[in-house]
Each structure stands twice: as C-alpha cells, then as structure tokens.
Structure 1
Amino acid sequence: MVIRANFDAELKELKDLLLKMGQMAEDALNKSIVALKEQNTELALEVIDKDYKINQLEEEINDKGILMIAKQAPVATDLRRIIAALKISSDVERVADNAVNIAKSTIRIGGQPFIKPIIDIPEMAKLTQSMLSDSLKAYYDEDVELARNVAEIDDQVDKMYGKTVKELMGLMNKNPDSIEQITQLSFICRYLERTADHCTNVSESIVYLIKGKRYELNE
C-alpha cells in the first residue's frame, strides 16, 4: 500500500508539472498575440526570453517519467498515464515554440503600419487559444468528450488559415513594398495552424490514456 501511495503521489506530481507547463505555454501564446496586435516588441521579447523555463519543465517531466518507468515498471493505465504525459509535454513545448515564432515575426514587422486591419489573425488565435485551454482541461479532468470537441475545432482553424493566407498572398502584387510584412503575417497564420494541430495531438493522447487505443481525431 505504501508503494502504491508513493507511486500515485509521483503520478500527481507529474500531472501537476505538465499543467504548470501548459499554463505557461498558454500565457506565452496569449502574450504573443497581444504583442502582435499592439505591435509591442517589448512584450514579444518577454515571450522569447521566458521560453527557456518551458523547455526546462519539459526536460524535468521527461526525466521524471522515464525514472518512474524504470523504477516501477508500470503496466496498463499507469503506464499510459506516463506515456501520455511525455507525449503531451512534447506537444505543449511545440506550442510554446510557436508562440516564440509569432513573437519573432512581430519583432520583424516592428512598427510598420499593417497592410490590412489585423482582424482575421486574432480571430484565428482566439479559436486556437480555446483549443489549448480546453485540451489542458480535458487532460486534467480526463474528459474524452471535451478532448474530441477540441479536435473538431481544428477544421475551423484550417479553413481560417487557408482563407487568411490567400487574402494575404493577394495583397503582394498590389503592395510590393510590404512583401516582408505580408510574409511574416502569413508565417504567423501558419504558426497558429500548427498550434491547433498540437492541441489535436494532445486530445489524441487523452483519448489514448482513457481508451487504451490510438485514434486519429482530425481526419
């Protein structure tokens, strides 16, 4: 009983670390979008400078998970909990990387007047941010239905991505002096689309954790 109690405590610690990492990635993504809308390079730099903390947490989660497998040789649901945590931490780290990339694109755009009102990108970001928030909640609550709902939003993000990038590309010929900005805005759309994909991956890991089988949720 003591061994089981200790193992359960380690599982909870692993889960808490992952949730902390997820909240930090969520904060980075939110700040990167605010930095873009406000053309706030200082805030963008803050996102970049704090990324190492998220990377450190991922390493801590990986080390802890691998050590738990080596020491306890868990099976069935216990093993899936550890594997899912390792997989989710990797996707969350990539979300944070995309926030950093958005921040870098914001710095490259600098204070140039936007070629068009920044409306579509924040709308796309809002959907992506809700996916991230809900996927973390689904992980905490082990909620399969919520995880599936998150994955369904990915199609909406994909459509917004295609529409927005097409509009941006259409502005290139008419605005040759703004090609760099248009390119960076297109990159930002891509980073958000990739973030949505990682949130879908998190949802798939949650379903694997509960059901014991891998499912493709964004087919």
Structure 2
Amino acid sequence: MIEDARLAYVLFLAVGEGVRSKGYGARMLADIERRCLRLLLQQQPVARDLREISSALKMISDLERIGDQAADIAELTRFVRLPDGPGRQRIEEMSKAVIRMVTDSVDSFVKRDLELAREVCREDDQVDVLFNQVKKELIGLIAADADSGELWLDLIMVAKYLERIGDHATNVAEWVEYSITGNHPSNN
C-alpha cells in the first residue's frame, strides 16, 4: 500500500520538475491502478485497508489531471514572459500555494496525516481568492490593451489551470481524510 503511495509521490515530483512526457506519468498511474486492483482481488481487504485502496484508486484520476494541467501550463508558458505587476505576483503566489498543496496532499496520504490533509483543503480557499483577483485584473488589462489580449487570455488560462490543480489537490486530501476516518468531507 505505502509503495503505491510512494509511486504517486514520485509521479508528482516528476510533474513538479517539468512535464517530461505525458506517457511516463500515464504509465506510472496505470501501474498504481494495477497494484491497487491486484490488492483488492488477491488480499480481499476489509475496513481500513479497503478504504485506503479505494481512496488510492480515486486519487489516481486527480493526479493524472494534475499532470495534464501542469503540461498545459508548460505549453502555454513556453514562449510567454509574464510581465511584472500585481498579476505576476498573484500567479507566482498561486503557483507556490498549489505546489505546496499537491505536495502536502500526497504527503498526508503517505504519512496518514489527517491535519495536513485538512490544511490542504483550507488552503484551496486562498487559491480561489487569488484566481478571482488575477482574473479580474487581467480582464481589465484586456479592456485597456486589446492588442495584447492573447497574452492576457493565456495568463488567465494559466491561472485557471493552477486553480484547477488546487481543486484536484483538495480532492486528494479529501480522499486521504476518507481513508483515515471513513468519512468523506463532502458528506458533512
């Protein structure tokens, strides 16, 4: 079980250092899924073990989406330089928060740390606030400088991908809470 979580963590590190290949991440996620399914079929787990395995299976899709969105960000920012200003600062804050959230969500699973998982969920609110600020500012820039509209739209997309990565990290953290407590936060 812990070995599967470590594989997921390695996947995150690979994504965090720049998406090298979508195929690599997909193969790792498929391997984790195969291992989880093998555990279900061969070990016939009950209670806590079953929650951990089912949670890991749910986390796989969020980790895959995180990788896809990181690849989309890499593609969008390949040739774009983020201009100085409050928007840049907020996008950088979002990036740092999202990296921390993904790291902490996976760490909370590996360490079975309920408080760390709950902290990830709380941090998502701040990422949402930053996204709304960035979006509002960039919409204003589009109105003021239509010639640079494509750049501003690309930056809105980057901010949206970051916001979605934060949402997926929150989903992972919520499944961690379920795996530990047997209660998914959406049931509250």
The answer to whether 1:208 aligns with 2:178 is yes
Please point out which of 124, 140, 144 is paired with 1:174: 144
The answer to whether 1:84 aligns with 2:74 is no
User: TM-score normalised to the size of structure 2?
Assistant: 0.91
Please point out which of 4, 8, 31 is paired with 1:18: 8
Please point out which of 103, 106, 109 is paired with 1:136: 106
The alignment partner of 2:125 has SS state of helix
Give the root-mean-square deviation of aligned CA atoms.
1.8
**Mapped partners of 2:126, 2:162: distance in 1:** 12
Please point out which of 141, 149, 153 is paired with 2:123: 153
The answer to whether 1:196 aligns with 2:166 is yes
**Mapped partners of 1:13, 1:133: distance in 2:** 17
Change (3 A) 1:23 1:57: same
Structure with the greater alpha carbon radius of gyration: 1
**Mapped partners of 1:88, 1:68: distance in 2:** 16
Greater RCO, 1 or 2 (C-alpha within 8 Å, sep 6+): 2
1:60 alignment partner in structure 2: 31
Per-residue CA distance 1:146-172 (angstroms, 9 max, x = gap): 110111011100000001110000011
User: TM-score normalised to the size of structure 1?
Assistant: 0.79
Do the aligned partners of 1:135 and 1:146 also contact (CA within 8 Å) in 2?
Answer: yes
Do the aligned partners of 1:25 and 1:93 also contact (CA within 8 Å) in 2?
Answer: no
Do the aligned partners of 2:2 and 2:110 also contact (CA within 8 Å) in 1?
Answer: no
Q: Percent identity?
A: 34
The answer to whether 1:93 aligns with 2:29 is no
Do the aligned partners of 1:168 and 1:182 also contact (CA within 8 Å) in 2?
Answer: yes
> Which has the higher mean CA deviation after the structures are superposed, 129-138 or 156-165?
129-138
1:185 alignment partner in structure 2: 155
The alignment partner of 1:213 has SS state of coil
Shift of 1:52: 1.7
For 2:72, give the aligned amino acid: N
Shift of 1:15: 2.4
**1:114-125 correspondence runs (5 A):** 114=82, 116-117=84-85, 118-125=88-95
The alignment partner of 1:204 has SS state of helix
Per-residue CA distance 1:62-90 (angstroms, 9 max, x = gap): 11111221222211111111111111222
Structure 2: gaps of 5 or more residues: none
